[in-house]
Chains A and B, each alone.
Chain A
């Protein structure tokens, strides 16, 4: 099967989080997956991926997040090739969410991905203390009456890697919801069609 280098890396990323041998199925929820992709892009794991503000919904709040359109497209490709599959479910707060998982065919294919590519993804997502893949939490806070959605990085194994300082230089996932201002000038424009 012909997969681009980044598609292979994306498949490997999903494999890291959802591959299981038996028993319970593991599904990676849609938004944390995008946070992980964002995190990996910022750490240079993907060659062609970029991100841009997109409207999303999290914890019932509509807000902008730095989504990678290239990754979204590649997810569709992987889904079409039945290497990953999508689950729809509800949270106990009655929100409908999506989640992804690698399929059996995907696991087989992921085995053929070159070690260098795998390592690039592994390194980008590794815990700084124990080097196992970090997890991402998306949390809703209320600050002075304003709802804040934040993404946190944390290691569930050693509990040491905590990237919860907002906007830190090493590509903290909290930046996921931070849209950086762009420098621009404007001129007024009134459409004549309205007259």
Chain B
């Protein structure tokens, strides 16, 4: 073994957190599904019964055992899951009494946390190598997604599949580790600067955020990354509340990012369809695609609404949470810059609504087209439309030129009036420096040309500005 190995001391707590679009009804549904009122444990499976008429269901022995331990109908449900096919990757990791149990908390605003505590190892030295911990986490990541898949409603599953592009099993969850120590007991600076250690930490937290990582106080520190955080303290659980709160925000952020990415894809799909209609006309399949797009857009809107609701919940909680915090907790809150994270999420949500609105208009336009036109006709209509557009553009251009001319003539007229009423006629009649041409004639021609030129420039400038604006909106 190389010396680079880092170990977590004692029995660290591992918490995975995610945010999924949920509402009060889903918690009630989940309770019913798990027979919470009966208070017995249930086995659940993600394998599907493809012959609902038959007597027997056969399945491979991979399954999850779930028991409800606490719930409040409109609020939350707490479960203990026994994951039978959960595979501990290395023999030095044994969970409590050899079983593999995990606590799950699902609340009505979509926050889900999955928690395990690594039990003390069999040997005398209580330590868990970061290497094996990272493998446990990656297993947990997939297992928890599978488990939630079984427990969520079809609608919720559909939402997740939409934003994770049918790969919702591999969606990331934010990892929090609360550990009493890291071995070898070197300073935080060396942990972060030594490339070998750095690499091991990255396995857990992904890209390390050096700005936000650091000492909470002399004895305790935080290592923060894009996908996780490790808090090291003699009493790490005192930071649980803050880390839970932060990880939920990260969960919302992750869902948000994926939702935005999905909105981007929807734009591409619309552009693709528009282009196709113009060149090839519309097929039956295209119409289905439009319908699907419309459905997806309303689902994306639903997700944004879920996020907004959850943010409103956080606004209610903050005033309760903050005054009860210890000095240490506040210090950690500050390090994590929780306020900034929160306001950024808020800003981006408002933004996304506008984009989605435009998207909706575009799709509605497409759909109107689809409902009025048939395949063959469409090509003809588009041909005519193209010609028509060319016509309109030509006519528009001519009108604009005329406008510039009229503007010039009008300007000369005004000037003429001014000069006449100020008795400047005599001055105008004098021959200019061009022989045979009077000053008046020269002035009229010169100012006329200049004003027409300026008017023309102005019209073009306005044209381009509008065009740029439209282009920006579309991209």
Chain A interface (Cβ < 8 Å from any Cβ of B): 17-18, 24-29, 32-33, 36, 59, 76, 79-80, 85-97, 99, 135-140
Which among B43, B52, B53, B63 has the highest number of chain A CB atoms within 10 Å? Answer: B52
* A135–B48 CB distance below 8 A: no
Query: In the complex, which of the residues B43, B58, B150, B154 has the most CB atoms of chain A within 10 Å of its own CB atom?
Result: B43
Determine the distance from Cα of A182 to Cα of B55 in the docked complex, in whole angstroms: 31
Interface membership of B347, Cβ < 8 A: no
16 examples of A-B residue contacts, CB within 8 angstroms: A26-B57, A27-B58, A29-B55, A32-B54, A86-B42, A87-B42, A87-B45, A89-B150, A92-B48, A92-B52, A99-B57, A135-B54, A135-B55, A135-B56, A137-B54, A137-B55
B469 lies within 8 A of chain A by Cβ: no
Q: How far is the CA of A124 from the CA of B221 in the complex (A)?
A: 70
User: What's the nearest-Cβ distance from chain B to residue A34, in Å?
Assistant: 11
Q: List A contacts of B43 (CB < 8 A).
A: 85-88
Q: Main secondary structure on chain A at its contact with chain B? A: strand
B47's closest neighbor in chain A, by CB?
A89
Instruction: Please tell me if the beta carbons of B52 and A94 are within 8 angstroms of each other in the complex.
Output: no
- The answer on a CB contact under 8 Å between B52 and A97 is yes
B365 proximal to A (CB < 8 A): no
Best-surrounded residue of B33, B53, B55, B59 (most CB of chain A within 10 A): B55
- Cα–Cα, bound, A136→B53 (Å): 8
In the complex, B60 has a CB within 8 A of chain A: yes
- B residues in contact with A36, CB < 8 Å: 55
* CB-defined contacts of A28 to chain B, threshold 8 Å: 55-57
CB distance from A60 to the nearest CB of B (A): 10
The count of chain B contact residues (Cβ–Cβ below 8 Å) is: 26
B391 at the interface (CB under 8 A from A): no
B44, A87: Cβ atoms under 8 Å?
yes
Please report the C-alpha to C-alpha distance between residue A9 and residue B204 in the assembled complex, in whole angstroms.
53
Known: A86-B40, A87-B44, A96-B33. A26 touches B56 (CB 8 A): yes
A24 near B59: Cβ-Cβ < 8 Å: yes
Q: Give the complex CA separation of A32 and B54 in angstroms.
A: 8
| CB–CB A25/B59 < 8 A | yes
Whether the pair A88, B42 counts as a contact (CB closer than 8 A) is yes
A85 to chain B: which residues have CB within 8 Å?
43
Q: Are B57 and A27 closer than 8 Å at their CB atoms? A: yes
The 8 closest A-B pairs by CB, nearest first: A32-B55, A91-B52, A91-B49, A27-B57, A135-B55, A87-B43, A24-B58, A137-B53
Q: A88-B44, A89-B44 are in contact. List 10 more A-B contacts (CB 8 A).
A: A24-B58, A27-B57, A28-B55, A36-B55, A87-B43, A88-B34, A88-B35, A92-B50, A99-B57, A139-B53
Least CB distance, B462 to chain A, in whole angstroms = 55
Residue B61, interface by CB 8 Å: yes
Which B residues, 32 to 82, have Cβ-Cβ distances below 8 Å to chain A? Answer: 33-35, 38, 40, 42-45, 47-50, 52-61, 63
Please give the distance in Å from B299's CB to the nearest CB on chain A. Answer: 17
Least Cβ distance of A152 to chain B in Å? Answer: 9
Query: In the assembled complex, how far is the CB of residue A145 from the closest CB belonging to chain B, in whole angstroms?
Result: 21
Bound state CA distance, A44 and B392, in angstroms? 88
Give complex CA distance A58, B34 in Å.
18
Q: How far is the CA of A92 from the CA of B53 in the complex (A)?
A: 11
Write out the residue numbers on chain B whose beta carbons fall within 8 Å of the beta carbon of A137: 53-55
Smallest distance from the beta carbon of A85 to chain B beta carbons, Å? 6
